[in-house]
Structure 1
Amino acid sequence: MIQHTLPAARARRALSHLLLALAIGFCLAATARAAPSLAAQRVAFRQAWAVAQQGGDGWRNWAKSLADYPLYPYLEEAALEHDVDTLDRATVTDFLARYHDLLPAADLRRAWLRSQARQQHWDDFLALYRPGLGDALACDALQAKLAQGGTLDFERDLATLWAKPSLPNACDTVLAAAHDAGLLTDARLWTRIDRALDGGQAGTVAALAAWLPGEEGKVAARLAQALRDPAAAVADAANWPDTPRHRQAAALALQRLARRDTEAADAGWQRLRPRFSFTPTQRDGVLYALALYHATDFDEHALVRLAALPADAQTATSREWRARVALARQDWPAVLAALDAMPAGQQDEDEWRYFRARALAATGHADQADALYGKLAQEPTYYGFLAADRVQGDYAICPLDPPDDPQREQDLLARAGLQRAFELFAVDLPQLARREWSHALDGADAGTLRLAARLAYERQWYDRAVFTYSSGDALRYYDQRFPLASQDGVVPQAQQAGIDPSWAYAIARAESAWMSDAHSGADARGLMQLVPATAAQVAKKNGLDWSGGQSLYDPVVNIVLGTRYLAQMAARYGGAPWLASAAYNAGPNKVDAWLDQRGSLPADLFVATIPYHETRDYVARVMAFAVIYDWRLSGKALPLASRMPPVGQPYRLPDVHSPRRDVTCPATSAPAPASSAVAGTPH
C-alpha cells in the first residue's frame, strides 16, 4: 500500500546495508591478510566519514583498511577542518605538504586562513596565504598587511577589487583604511557607484555615498533609493534639482518602478518628464521600461507603445513581447508585423518560425504555413513536435550512441582525479564528486569530456552526461541525455500516483538534470525540487512517512513525494500536464491568475504568453522532454497536442492503447540548436 512505501523502502535499504556491512566484516575477519575489496572500502569510508566530521582522531579506527583508498585524504581533512580553530600551523603545513595538489588541501588552507583571520593571527595567516583564494581572503590578507604596519597602494592592492559591484564584509575594514588614507577619491567612488548601479547593488551605493561630500553624498543616496524604493524616489524627485546625477536617479527610479507598478510609473513619468532635461538615452530607457512592462501586463495599449519605441531603444526582448501581445489577442496580421520587425536571426528561432506558420494559416496562406510546419517538424524540439502535430507528421528523433574509444577510456580511468570523482559519487558525496570532476577535467578538449561523461553514465552518474552532451551531434545521445533511472522508482511511483511516467521523468529531468542533491535558492531539494514545507503537506495528505527536509535528497523519497505532488497539480487542472507543469514551476496561484486573464487561448498561445520567461521555457522543455521519454519507454511518442488539451477539457491519461506517433530520422535532420527547448540544460 502507498502509505507503507517510504518506511518499507528505508527499512529494506537499512537491512541491506546492515547485511552488507556484516558480510564485509566477516569476510575481512576471515581474510585478514587479503586486501579489502572496493565494496568493503566504501563501507568503511562511509563509517569513517561520519566520525571524521565530528573532529578528533576517532575516524582512524574505522579507516585502517583505507590507507590506499583514493578518498583517504578527505577523511583527515574533514577531521582537521572540524577542529580548525585549535590547529597549529605545523599540523596544517604537514597536511598541505602531503596533499599539496589535492582539493582537500585547498579546502583546509581556506578553512585555516579564515580561522586565523577571525582570530587576527596575522603572522600565521600570511605564512600560508596564497593569492587567488577569493575576495574575502584577499581582503583579509590586506588587513594582515595593515596590522603589520604596511600601507596600501590603490593600483597594486585595490584596483581589481574596486572594479567589482559588490564585495564581502571582510573588505569593509580595508576599504575604510583606504578611505582614511585618501586613496578613495571622489572620482574613484563615482566609478564604483556606477558599476554598482549597473549591478543593482543598492547596499554598495548607499555605503559609498557616506564617503562623498555634501550634495554629492546626497545624490548618491538618492541613487541607492532609486534601486531600493523606486516609488518613494519617484515621489521625492519632484523636489530634486535638475542636475545630471539627479536626472540619472529619476530615470533609474522610473525604470525600476515600471517593473512593479506600471500605472504609477506612467503617472511619475508624466510629472517628471517636464521637470528634468533627460538625455535621449535616459528618455528611451524610461519609454522602453514602460512599454515592456505594460506588455507583460498585456495592457490594451501595449502594442502601440512597443511599435512606437525608437529604433535605438528596441531590443530582442521588446520585439518578442510585441509578438506575444499580438498572440494574446490572436491578432494574426499584428503577429506577422511583429515578426517582420525582428532581425533575421531572431525570426529564425524555432518559436517564431512556428508562430509565423500559425499566423499564415490563420490569414489564409495554408500552403505557406504547411511548408514552414514541414521544415520545422524535422527538428526535435517543442516547436518541432507542435509543427509535426499540425501536419500529422512523424516526430524527427535521430539517436546516436557516444563514440567508443576503449584505450582513451582506460587512460581516463587511470587519472587519479577521476578516480576520486567516481568514488565520491559512489559513496554518496555528489557535490564533492562534481568538484573533483571539474578539477580533473579542467582544460580538457570536447572529445575527452564526452568520453568521461560516457564513463560517468555507465556508473549511473547521469547529470554529467546531461550537462556534457549539450551541443552538436552529442544532442542526439538520447539514451544518455534522457536516462531511464529505474532505480529511483519513477515508473511505478508515477503509476501509483495516477500520472504519466514519461511526464514524471520529464519533470525530474527539467528540475534537477538528475542531480540528487540539487538545492535551489528557494530551498527546493532533490530530483524533483520539492520545498520541505510542500513535501510535508504532500506526505500528510497521502499518508506517507515524513522524515524532514534532508530526506528529500534520497532519490526514492523524492520521487514518491514528487509524483504525488504532480498528481495534486494535475487534479487541479483537469489532469492537463502542461498547466500542471506551469503550476509546478510558478505556483498554482500565478497560473490561476493567468487563466483568469487568458484562459480562452489555445494551449500553445497560452504558453507563449506566460509572463515569466523561466516558466514559458520550463513548460516547453517539460512537454518536449515528455515526448522523448515516452519514445524511450514505448518506442513511439504520444502526440504533444494530446498532452496540451484546451483549458477546461478533461485530460485522459494515456495507456498502452493510446495512439502514438512514429519516430523517424529524416535524411536532412540536424541536431537541435543549443538554445532549443530540448537541447538546453536546466538552470
Structure 2
Amino acid sequence: MFSSAAPRRFFCGLLAVAGALLATSPAQAAASIDAQRIAFRQAYAAANQGDPSWRALAAGLHDYPLYPYLPAAALEHDIRLIDRAAVEDYLASYPDLIPATDLRRDFLRELARRKDWAGFTALYQPGLGDALACDALQARLAGGGALDFQRDLAALWAKPDLPGACDPVLAAAHDQGLLTTARLWERIDRAAEAGKAGTVASLASWLPAADRPTALHLAQAWRDPAAAVAAAPNWGTGVRDTRAATLALTRLARRQTTSADAAWQALQARFPFSEAQRNHILATLALFHATDFDDQALARLIALPAAAQTDGTYEWRARVALARQNWPAVIAAIDAMPAALRQDGEWRYFRGRALAAQGDTAGAQAQFRTLADEATFFGFLAADALDQPYAICPLTLADDPAAQASLLALPGLQRAFELFAVDLPKPARREWNRALQGADQATVRVAAALANQRGWYDRAVFAFSSGDALRLYDLRFPLASQDGLVPQAEAAGIDPAWAYGILRAESAWMSDARSGADARGLMQLLPETGALVARRNGMTWGGGDTLYDPATNIALGTRYLAHMAARFDGSPWLASAAYNAGPNRVDQWLAARGTLAPDVFIASIPYKETREYVARVMAFSVIYDWRLNGTVTPLTTRLSTIGQPYAMATANAPRKTIACPSAAASAAATDAP
C-alpha cells in the first residue's frame, strides 16, 4: 500500500536530489546518478516479471524521479490478481503521473473482464478511450439503466469503426429501437467513406431487408472490387448503388486498369453517375494508366476535363512526358499546372531541365537560379547545373541558461530524460509530450537542445521541422560517433554520408522505431533481414530485439546497404530506391525505363513514397557530407548513370563548397523529417 504523503515526499525528494548534486563534485554526482540508474533497471526488470525482490532492489530509490514506475510495473504484472484497493492506493499516491493513468485504464479493462461493474463504475473516468466508454455503458445496462442515444451513443456513433467492447452496447441500443434506419444509413455512409467494410457489413443486418443488398454492395466494393463490378449490372441504380459502383471502379483501376476500363464502358450508361463521380472515375483511370506508362497515358491525361484534373493528374502528365523525354510536352504539362503546384521545386527544376534539353540555355539557367538557393534535392541539382556552391545557411541555437534551468526543474521533463537514460524511449516520449504540452516554440527548442546534449537526437529532429529552425543543421543532422556509423560504413565499403542519410530518412534517429511491417531500429531492418545479413557477414545474431541496439543495427544496416549497392553497380541512389521499395521492384522499373537519366528516372518512379524517399536520402547525404567534411561530393556525381559502375569519390576528387547567398534564401532548407 502507498501513503497519501507519497507525492509530497516524491517532489521534496526531487529538491533534495538537486540540492545534493549541487553540494557534490560533478564526478560524485555522475557516480550517484549512474548507481541509481543501475538499481532502477534491476528493480524495473524484477517488477515487470512479478518478482517481489524489486522492493529490496529499489530500497535507495524512493527519491529517484522514476520510482513511481516501479510499483506501477509490479501492479501491472499482477493485474488479474490485485484488488481495487491496491489500485486506488497507487492512484491516490501518484494521481497525476502517466503510470497512474495506464494503471487505471488497464485495471478498468480487468474489471470489465471480471464483469465487476460496481467496481468499474467506482473507478471509471471519461476520456480513457472508446472501449472503456462502451464498458461504462455496459455497466449502466448491467445496473438496470437504459440508453439514451444523444447522451450515450451520439459521439460513438459518429465514428466509422469501434472496438469489440461496443458490440453489446450497440446490440442493446438496437433492441431498444434507438438505431433507426436513418441512423444506420448515416453510420454506414460514414464507414463506407472511410473504407471500413466490416462496419458496413455488420450494420447491414439491422437494415430493413430491402436495404441490405445496397449496403453489402458498398462493403463488396472495398473488399473485392473485381467481383463488385462484375455483379454491378444486376444492382439497382439508386444513389448508394451508384456510389458503390463508383467506388468499385476506382478501386479496381488501382489493381487492374484494363479491366476497370472495360467495366467503365459497360457501366457508365447503366448508372446515373453525377458529373463529380464521372470525373473521379475518369481521373482515376487516367492516373493509373499513367503509372503503368501506357501508350495512351499522356493523351488520356491531356484529354481529361478541367473539372476532373487533380494535382495527381497534372503531375503524372509531366512524369509521363519526362519518361518519354518529350521535352515540349514536359513544358506544356508544367505550364498547365495550377500556380501553387508549378512552384514546387521539382517542377521548377524540370522546367529548367526541359528548356536546357531544347537548347534554351539562358532560359534554363534563369529557371535554375530560382531554385539553386534552396538546400533541397532539386536545389542542389539546380546548383550543379549552374556550377555554383550549395546554398546551406546554418543557424546556431543560442544558449539560454535560465530557460534551461527552468526546464530542467520540471518533474515531467526530469522523468523524460531519466527514462531515456535508462533505455525506455517510449515512456520517455510520453513524459516529454506531457511536460511540453502547450509550450511555445522557444521553450520546445530549448528542451530539444537539452535532449540533444544527452544523445536523445530524435527530439530535435521532430522539433525543428519548419521555418528558420530547418537551418539548425547540427541538431537536425546529428553525428552520433558513439554509435559507430562512420567506421561501420567504411568497413562495409560504403559512403558514411549516404549511410547517415539512410538512417536519418528511415528513423529520424528513433532507436526504437518499429514500422507496421516490423522493420526495427535506426536503419529499419526486418528481423529476417538482420538474421540474413549477420549470417552472410559472420556476425553474431541475437534475435530481432537486438535491432533496437544502435550499434548492432548500424553494423547490420551498413552491410545490408552495401549488399543493395552491389546489386545495382554500386549506385547509392538506386540502392536507396531498393532499400525503400525492394530490389525486385527496382529491377522492374529498370527493365521498363532503364535508359533514362537518373533525375528523370527518379521522377518516373510510380510510388510517391519511394520517389520522395530517394530525393530525401540523397539530399540528406549532401548535408551529412558537409557536416563530416566541410565540402561535399556533387549530387550529380552521386547520381551515377544507370548501368555504369559507381565508385565512391577519392580524396582527390572535385568537391563543392558551401555558401550562404542571402538571409532570404536561407529560409528554404532541407526537407523536414
Instruction: Give your verdict on TM over 0.5.
Output: yes
Aligned positions of 1:162-561 closer than 5 A: 162-561=157-556
Residue 119, structure 1, aligned to residue 107, structure 2: no
Q: Distance in 1 between matches of 2:288 and 2:112?
A: 47
| 1:371 Cα deviation after fit | 1.4
Work out the CA distance in 2 between the residues paired with 1:59 and 1:569.
46
The aligned counterpart of 1:70 is 65
1:611 corresponds in structure 2 to: 606
Counterpart CA distance in 1 for 2:79 and 2:96 is 20
Determine helix, strand or coil for the equivalent of 1:219.
Answer: helix
Output the CA distance in 2 between the equivalents of 1:194 and 1:385.
47
Secondary structure in structure 1 of the residue aligned to 2:211: helix
String of CA shifts for 1:28-73, please: whole Å, max 9, x gaps: xxxxxx9981110000000001101012532111001101000000
Contact 1:512 1:527 in 2 (8 A): yes
Alignment deviations for residues 612-671 of structure 1 (CA, whole Å, 9 cap, x no partner): 111011000000000000001110011001111110011011233222100011125434
One of 75, 90, 99 as aligned partner of 2:94: 99
Instruction: State the 1:271 CA deviation.
Output: 1.0
Amino acid at match of 2:229: V
1:154 to 149, 161, 175: 149
Separation (CA, whole Å) in 2 of partners of 1:257 and 1:114: 41
Q: Aligned partners of 2:361, 2:653: CA distance in 1, in Å?
A: 29
Aligned match for 2:658, one of 649, 652, 663: 663
SS across alignment from 1:86? coil
Take 1:449 and 1:653, find their aligned partners in 2: how far apart are those partners? Answer: 39
Secondary structure of the residue aligned to 1:376 is coil
Q: CA RMSD in A?
A: 1.4
1:247, distance to aligned residue in structure 2 (A): 1.4
The answer to whether the 8 Å contact 2:373/2:666 transfers is: no
SS at match of 1:215: coil
Work out the CA distance in 1 between the residues paired with 2:126 and 2:546.
39
| 8 Å contact from structure 1 (residues 581, 619) kept in 2 | yes
The Cα of 1:307 is off from its aligned counterpart by 1.8
Counterpart CA distance in 1 for 2:310 and 2:175 is 44
Counterpart in the other structure of 1:627: 622
The answer to which structure, 1 or 2, has the higher relative contact order (CA under 8 A, 6+ apart) is 1
Cα distance between partner residues in 2 of 1:500 and 1:655: 11
- C-alpha distance in 2, partners of 1:266/1:679? 38
Deviations 1:136-189 (A, max 9, x none): 111111111111111111111111111111111111111111111111111111
The answer (yes or no) to whether the contact 2:404–2:450 under 8 Å persists in 1 is yes
Judged with a 3 Å threshold, the aligned counterparts in structure 2 of structure 1 residues 161 and 206 are, in CA distance, closer, same or farther, namely same
Q: TM-score, normalised by structure 1?
A: 0.93
Give the Cα separation in 1 of the matches to 2:375 and 2:667. 6
Pairing partner for 1:566 from 561, 567, 572:
561
Deviates more, 1:236-245 or 1:593-602: 236-245
When structure 1 is superposed on structure 2, of 404-413 and 649-658 the one drifting more is 649-658
2:494–2:648 CA contact under 8 A, matched in 1: yes
Distance (Å, rounded) in 2 between the aligned partners of 1:516 and 1:671: 30
Letter matched to residue 281 of structure 1: A
Shift of 1:373: 1.1
* CA distance in structure 1 between the partners assigned to 2:434 and 2:451 by the alignment: 15
Segments of structure 2 that go 5 or more residues without pairing to the other structure are 1-28
Aligned partner of 2:139 in structure 1 is: 144
- Alignment partners' CA distance in 2, 1:658 and 1:503: 17
Q: What is the rounded CA distance, in whole Å, between the counterparts of 1:288 and 1:356 in structure 2? A: 24
The structural deviation recorded for 1:405 is 1.1
Q: Residue type of the partner of 1:429?
A: L
After superposing the two structures, state which structure 1 stretch, 56-65 or 484-493, moved more: 56-65
Contact 2:470 2:672 in 1 (8 A): no
Q: Which residue of 2 aligns with 1:16?
A: none
Aligned partner of 2:671 in structure 1 is 679
Q: CA deviation at 1:475?
A: 0.6
Describe the superposition over 1:206-265 as per-residue Cα deviations: whole angstroms up to 9, x where unpaired.
111111111211110111000000000000112122222221111110011001000010
Distance between the aligned counterparts of 1:633 and 1:394, measured in 2? 17
Contact 1:306 1:322 in 2 (8 A): yes
TM-score, scaled to structure 2: 0.94
Cα distance in 2 for partners of 1:637, 1:375 equals 22
444 and 35 in structure 1: CA distance in 2 versus 1, 3 angstrom threshold? closer
Number of aligned residues: 646
Deviates more, 1:358-367 or 1:119-128: 358-367
Quote the sequence identity (%).
65
Given that 1:380 and 1:672 are in contact with CA atoms closer than 8 Å, whether structure 2 keeps it comes out as no
Question: 1:330 aligns to what SS in structure 2?
Answer: coil
Separation in 1, partners of 2:30, 2:107: 35
State how far apart, in whole Å, the 2-side matches of 1:414 and 1:294 are. Answer: 59
- Conserved? CA contact 1:469–1:475, under 8 Å: yes
Give, in whole Å, the separation in 1 of the partners of 2:666 and 2:259.
47
> Is the CA contact (8 Å cut-off) linking 2:660 and 2:666 kept in structure 1?
no
Structure 1 residue 315, shift from structure 2 partner:
1.3
Please give the alpha-carbon distance, in whole angstroms, between the structure 1 residues aligned to 2:89 and 2:61: 20
Query: Relative to 1, partners in 2 of residues 1:431 and 1:671: Cα closer, same or farther, differing over 3 Å?
Result: farther
Contact 1:381 1:672 in 2 (8 A): no
Between the aligned partners of 2:667 and 2:347, the Cα distance in structure 1 is 15
Name the CA distance, whole Å, in 2 between partners of 1:464 and 1:594. Answer: 37
Amino acid at match of 2:468: D
**CA distance, structure 2, for counterparts of residue 526 and residue 656 of structure 1:** 32
Equivalence for 2:14: none
What is the CA–CA distance in structure 2 between the aligned matches of 1:80 and 1:671, rounded to whole Å? Answer: 53
